[in-house]
Structure 1
Amino acid sequence: MSCCDTPAGLLPFETALSRLLAEIHPIATQQTVELGQSIGRVLAEPVISRVNVPPYTNSAMDGYAIHLTEPAAASYRLIGRCLAGHPFEQTVAPGECVRIMTGAQLPPGANCVVMQENATLLDDETVAFSDGLVLDRNIRHAGEDISAGATVYDAGHCINTADIAVFAALGIASVSVKRQLKVALLASGDELKLPGTTLNPGELYESNRPAIHAMLTRMGIEVRDFGIIADDKEQLKSAFLSAAEDCDAIITTGGVSVGEADYTKDILTEIGEVNFWKLAIKPGKPVAFGRIGPAVFFGLPGNPVSALVTFHQLAVPALKKMQGHEQIHYPTQTAIAASDFKTSPGRTDFQRGILFHDDQGRLAVRSTGAQGSHMLTSLTRANGYVILAPQTEPVRTGDLVKVQWFDALLG
């Protein structure tokens, strides 16, 4: 098998992602939400400032606002004081100054603020300055940060915490965002049990659904949690049909392989459509993508690392496109391998790595160790992926590799 060969029946990862995204369309409906409910939501319209930020020219320091001329005066007559929220409206003439506090509006005529540490009171009405007599020093100008009429955010921007402060500074109390996605989530498997219960022989705790639920919530998505469904074809079929009635997408984990109790692909073929099933990717070869009615369907593997990696690399970009994000692809960089990496001929391998800068300031990466699809610690120890293209030759220490930092969903 050459470096470009793909095992029979396996769809290359890049092809699968392109086909998947081609099937996805952003939701058109939008709603207005208050700022406190807008974190993680996607703007439906551009945000254009109606005001300047700051709204008026003000002082950056506690000190004295002066009318500076050349040459500077030896001392200045103190004519008043100016506090935040209480402007001094009299014009400051050459040779005059006003006591001013941080954030207070600069009085008319003032063109310099001297910090109080450089001031000496000669008497109740006279101030001398030892330093800082520079035109425009310690002054914040109106609109210096954001000017009225400026486009602050484009449609498709995902709102974060810092954005809330910007909206508030603009006087915006609510924003127009894309309608919140609703995603159905379920896990299938007779061996799966809820955390907190007692395990019987042959059982294990179900970890995929809680982790994916957390990531969906962090994306601002409403989750309809169907819990754990037994390995029963009719129960699974009923759950899929119920989810498709009012959800934009359905995400399942487990049941997509070729075992006797793996029914997902058969059910999807029967009641919906299958776009692809097996991918040339590691971890996570058995991945089903299709539709049930209008709902997009993602059938992820049951192994925990496989489920989280395929969700992150395939489902997240698709969901972001549905949400209307302006940026849906993960950026990659080139790093120096600080350890050897085994490769998987014919499959794109998303190994978990620790990215760091070496003694020469170069980006480097080392493996987290064993990369089994069941080993969650390979994820918890990592801060990024080492993306190894389908090839036969292993990566040696010192080789260049493609890496991808974990984003906030995994980091």
Structure 2
Amino acid sequence: MAQLSDDCFAFGGPMMSVDEAVAIIAARVTPVHDIDTVSLVDADGRILASDISAPLPLPPFTNSAVDGYAVRSRDLPPREERAFAVTGRVQAGALASQAIRPNHAMRIFTGAPMPEGADTVFMQEDVRIDEAGRLVVPAGLKPGANVRPAGEDIAVGSSALAAGRRLRPQDVALAAAFGLTHVEVRRRIRVAVFSTGNELVSPGAPRAAAQLFDSNRFMLMAMLARLGCEVSDLGILRDDRASLAHGLKTVADSHDLILTTGGVSTGEEDHVKAGVESVGTLVLWRMAIKPGRPVAMGIIGGTPFIGLPGNPVASFVTFVHVVRPTVLALAGAAQQRLVPMPVRAAFSYKKKIARREYVRVTLRKGDHGLLEAVKFPREGAGLLSSLVDTDGLVELGEEITKVEPGQTVGFLGYASLM
């Protein structure tokens, strides 16, 4: 399991910015050391543990990029069309039976190896066959046209996939193109997830009139699963310092991260802070972010702890900006800054300076086909419908104080946040 020092996340400022939080996490969290060897079928989403260099060039041999006719570039007509005798035929997966002869052409298909001596291919759409059965080609084709040289994509020995990459389907395809069947990846991060609060019951359990079904826990577990984590669902911890402390301490040795939601504000019934401090060390982050200012982070028995707000939108937003980079750092993944897509605002908005805010929006096509962001009509960090019925978040940086319709803003789609 991860073993961090008790002051790993210590921060002296009055309120932490989002960028400061991510920088501290990336610099001070130690990745897990265990390595798994997995088949390519199971590699998607895993974190590559070691660099992969190209064991062969891609493509491994020079081949035709089109269906057509292979010729020697020295035989290309410079000014007017020319007729060639056609001898031979090369299909994909087979070698030419002979070298190409001067002033001759050879029928060739996409992906087939180029015949010896040939270095240019005419597309079949650009040629014709005359009455004598000869190939007639136009003038003006450049030498080397429609040919894919060996190593054109990736040269042998070059760096192809770097350690720390979170593998995507296209990365898996590249490994397969090298003939690999397995890759080395970091083991999955083990995360214990609790909800806290006497007001919560799990779906399926009897619910009293003053209670709510717990939704945050299931949202967070789904988000963790998308990040490739092994998740332990540890249910709901009640608003009691002793039971909170016991539950947190019990799971610390067997997990890489402990994640809770609720109970991290400053009210007298918010017991997470005291519970953590009785079994570990906690630095209460007051992040300059809306929604989601109350976020707690600390260390319990060497294992990092993060306590998220109880309001679902605040929990979602702070997961993206605190939990996600922590999980990636623990997994040895390279940190990648979220890059908002520029869109036009179709709303007005005012905010405080020196605080980053996230506005829930839906995209629509506006004038001239430009994408516009339409703000969800209601405010409130407790509105699950505002996450369900929107496409993503508009990110408003610390320096922004207002938004006017037509202004360019940065949009983060939900799919890019997990």
TM interval, shorter chain, is: 0.7 to 0.9
Aligned-partner SS, 1:183: strand
For 1:199-238, list aligned pairs within 5 A.
199-238=207-246
What does 1:317-396 align with in structure 2 at a 5 Å threshold? 317-332=325-340, 337-344=345-352, 347-354=355-362, 359=367, 365-380=373-388, 381-389=390-398, 395-396=402-403
Matched residue, 2:51: 46
Query: Is the aligned partner of 1:12 residue 2:16?
Result: yes
29, 32, 37: which one aligns with 1:32: 37
Gaps of 5+ in 2: 1-12
**SS of match in other structure, 2:274:** helix
Q: What RMSD in Å do the two structures reach over aligned CA positions?
A: 3.0
| Paired letter, 1:252 | T
- The question of whether the paired residues in 1 share the 8 Å contact of 2:65 and 2:147 is answered with yes
Gaps of 5+ in 1: 1-8
Q: How far, CA to CA, are the matches of 1:294 and 1:102 in structure 2?
A: 57
**Letter aligned with residue 33 of structure 1:** V
TM-score by length of 2: 0.85
CA change 1:342–1:105 in 2 (3 A) is: same
- TM-fit CA distance, 1:171: 1.4
**Higher mean displacement: 160-169 or 76-85:** 76-85
- Aligned residue in 1 for 2:68: 63
| C-alpha spacing 1:285/1:314, structure 2 compared with 1 (3 Å) | same
Q: Aligned match of 1:171 in 139, 155, 179?
A: 179
Is contact 2:365-2:371 (8 Å) kept?
Answer: yes
| Equivalent pair of 1:385/1:405 in contact (CA under 8 Å) | yes
Query: In the aligned structure 2, how far is the partner of 1:66 from the partner of 1:97?
Result: 5
- Structure 2 Cα separation of the partners of residues 93 and 78 of structure 1: 10
Report Cα offsets for 1:140-174 as digits up to 9, x if no partner. Answer: 11111111111112222211111111111111222
C-alpha change, 1:84 and 1:396, in structure 2 (3 Å) is: closer
Q: Note closer, same or farther for the CA distance 1:59–1:290 as it changes in structure 2 (3 Å cut).
A: same
Higher mean C-alpha displacement, 199-208 vs 154-163: 199-208
Counterpart residue identity of residue 415, structure 2: A
Aligned positions of 1:52-131 closer than 5 A: 52-68=57-73, 69-71=75-77, 74-122=82-130, 126-131=133-138
Residue 188 of structure 1 aligns to which amino acid in structure 2? T
Matches within 5 A, 1:211-360: 211-332=219-340, 337-344=345-352, 347-354=355-362, 359=367
- CA contact under 8 A between 1:186 and 1:229: conserved in structure 2? yes
Report the CA distance between 1:117 and its aligned residue. 3.4
Q: 1:267-312, CA deviations, whole angstroms, 9 ceiling, x for partnerless residues? A: 1100000122433432123211001012100001111111111111
Q: Deviations over 1:208-263 (max 9, x none)?
A: 12221122111122212212333344433232122211111110011222445432
Sort the Cα spacing of 1:146 and 1:20 in 2 relative to 1 into closer, same or farther, 3 A: closer
Q: Which amino acid aligns with 2:410?
A: V
Q: Give the deviation of 1:55 after TM superposition.
A: 0.8
Larger deviation, residues 75-84 vs 196-205? 196-205
Please give the alpha-carbon distance, in whole angstroms, between the structure 2 residues aligned to 1:132 and 1:276: 74
> Kindly, what percent of the aligned residue pairs are identical?
34
SS class of match (1:408)? helix
CA–CA distance in structure 2, aligned partners of residues 227 and 336 of structure 1: 42
Q: Deviation per CA, 1:363-392, whole angstroms, max 9, x where unpaired? A: 86442232301012323314223325388x
Residue 405 in 1 paired to residue 412 in 2? yes
* Post-superposition CA distance 1:84-132 (Å, at most 9, x none): 1121131101122222222111111222222333444557x94323548
For residues 259 and 119 of structure 2, the distance between their equivalents in structure 1, rounded to whole angstroms, comes to 61
